[in-house]
Structure 1
Amino acid sequence: MTLDVVAVLFPNVTQLDLTGPVQVFSRLPGARVHLAWRDDAPVLTDVGFSIVPTVSFEDAPQADVLLVPGGQGAFDLLEDESALDFVRRQARGAQCVTSVCTGAFVLGAAGLLTGRRATTHWASHAMLELLGAIPERARVVRDGPVITGGGVTAGIDMALSVAAELYDPETARSAQLALEYDPQPPFDAGRPDRPEADPAQVRETISATHSRREQAVRRAAERLVG
């Protein structure tokens, strides 16, 4: 079996949104991972180091699995018709169309979440509805061929779920074991509803996130119905 994973790379991507699931996919038998952007120049991530694309939009193979990570840079793609067109074209032939974190908004702006259940990072979750999605609070949400992961680290869970579906649970478990993916965080503060999460931080983060991103999402929503 050959599995072509095409991941969209873009400036200011949250690198773990990309590298977490890519690390899982790279462990699958016959998997080939392609990092797609406009050209082959290094792309700066949100943590200050760059990742080099392996293929251009023009030369990317048809994806079996399409992966769209998130980050603040994802919101720049909402008004980037060439990137959105690439996502649409790839999605038409993919077995699985996936996103991590706010990569879901790119899928939404491409018209791929209309009427579908989806998830994203908790701070941006409510805005999914603006793009016609049905927001669902879960680590991983599947609706047809579209599989969305929650915030950042949920990308690993999403990739393991895809691995179990496209291969089998044994292959997914083998990848999990090889990566020693056995989360045991020192604090119970990983979601807003967890007992050690700071309510003030939750409120401030949601407010700041909506202030920074909502207008871009609304403009994308207007183009969907325009």
Structure 2
Amino acid sequence: MYEVHPAQVSRQITVGVLIFPGFEMLDAYGPMEMWGSLKHAPARFWGGEEKRAGVRLVTIAATRGEIPSNQGPKTVADYSYADSPKLDYLLVPGGSGAVPLVGDTATLDWLRDQATKTKVVMSVCNGASLLAAAGILDGRPATTNKMAFKASTEPGPKVNWIKQARWVDDGAVVSSSGVSAGMDMTLAVISRLYGQPLSDWLEQITEYDAHRDPSWDPFAVKAGLVR
């Protein structure tokens, strides 16, 4: 059920996580738990040995080094914008630190560049504000944190903001609501890309009761966005 010491595989997935001073810990670490656990899944959950892949998680910031989260504990950025490796998938968390970055040229330029190279860009909470400010969400449906919906959507006047959604999957760009919603979004993305059995396995291994309906969003009602 769980391979503590997984066998060597020939295929590797690289998932990059943007971090910045004031990033929300669960925005980043919830999805990282799911992606990082994949390497322990036995071949049958992948659909066969030939479909298995290793997962490499990397953290990226404007500069390498320790980056304080919104909650206080620091995370080490493995790479800077200048030397970040080729990514298959990119995760952009939110947090109070995302607010000033909507006007940060270096961050927005890096995000635009990554959006042309990665297979899927994902955002959690007001991480969507950064994608919106970079123009990545223009003309696309997207969602964000419901308790700060107005402020979080201001950088994206050309975005089709969805008020009631746990997450919105628009193919190459996937966005989720606040904080814990990032785990539901991640499981949905993994299910789409690699199959429901693998997503089911992650739920069981992490003892997480995921919401599988992207329209499930009582927080939109609580925030007064919908009736």
What TM-score range do you get, normalising by the shorter chain? 0.7 to 0.9
Q: Distance in 1 between matches of 2:78 and 2:111?
A: 17
Tell whether the 8 Å contact from 1:6 to 1:33 is kept in structure 2 after alignment. Answer: yes
1:83 Cα deviation from its structure 2 partner: 1.0
Q: Distance in 2 between matches of 1:192 and 1:129?
A: 17
1:77 Cα deviation from its structure 2 partner: 1.1
Paired residue for 2:71, among 32, 40, 47? 47
Q: Distance in 2 between matches of 1:147 and 1:159?
A: 9
Paired residue for 1:79, among 94, 103, 120? 103
Paired residue for 2:199, among 172, 179, 190? 172
Match status 1:34 vs 2:58: yes
Task: Could you tell me which runs of 5 or more consecutive residues in structure 1 were left unpaired when the two chains were aligned.
Answer: 207-226
From the two aligned structures, give the one with the greater helix fraction: 1
Paired residue for 2:14, among 1, 4, 17? 4
Q: Deviations over 1:19-59 (max 9, x none)?
A: 10011110123111110012222111111111111122122
Tell whether the 8 Å contact from 2:133 to 2:155 is kept in structure 1 after alignment. Answer: no
1:87 Cα deviation from its structure 2 partner: 0.9
Paired residue for 2:219, among 185, 191, 208? 191
Tell whether the 8 Å contact from 2:102 to 2:155 is kept in structure 1 after alignment. Answer: no
Q: How many residues align?
A: 193
For residue 134 of structure 1, what is the aligned residue in structure 2? 160
1:183 Cα deviation from its structure 2 partner: 6.4
Amino acid at match of 2:195: D
Tell whether the 8 Å contact from 1:108 to 1:133 is kept in structure 2 after alignment. Answer: yes
For residue 176 of structure 2, what is the aligned residue in structure 1? 149
Tell whether the 8 Å contact from 2:184 to 2:210 is kept in structure 1 after alignment. Answer: no
Tell whether the 8 Å contact from 1:125 to 1:135 is kept in structure 2 after alignment. Answer: no
1:126 Cα deviation from its structure 2 partner: 3.8
Tell whether the 8 Å contact from 1:28 to 1:163 is kept in structure 2 after alignment. Answer: no
